[in-house]
Amino acid sequence: MTQMTVHKEKIHEILLRFLNDLQGDEIHLEFDEKHFLVQPVQEKTVLDMLAEQAEDLGPEDLSLNTDHYLYGLPKRPEK
């Protein structure tokens, strides 16, 4: 990691030089009052693509009726 102190008027030039070295056309920025982070946008992994396509097929009342689904006990009435 490179650290430097620069005048505000020079920051534009330094950022452009840095951004030109990044791969890809899109960048991800994070910043707050004290920190500034710039990194290239990462391509989606296979797991990310699968997670986007996944559907929750489980019962909607699983947490309420765990005993019913695990042990076959009668379902609890909904509150």
Domain membership of residue 8 (yes or no) is yes
Domain membership of residue 6 (yes or no) is yes
Domain membership of residue 69 (yes or no) is no
How far apart are the C-alpha atoms of 75 and 66, rounded to whole Å? 9
Q: Which domain holds residue 47?
A: 1-54
Domain membership of residue 65 (yes or no) is no
- Nearest 5 degrees, angle CA 34-CA 40-CA 12? 55
Give the predicted TM-score (pTM) of the model: 0.37
pLDDT value of residue 71: 93
pLDDT by residue (tens digit) across 11-55?
888 888 888 887 777 888 888 888 888 887 877 888 988 988 888
Q: How many helices (H) and strands (E) does the chain have?
A: 3, 2
Residues 6+ positions from 75 with CB-CB distance below 8 Å:
61, 65, 68
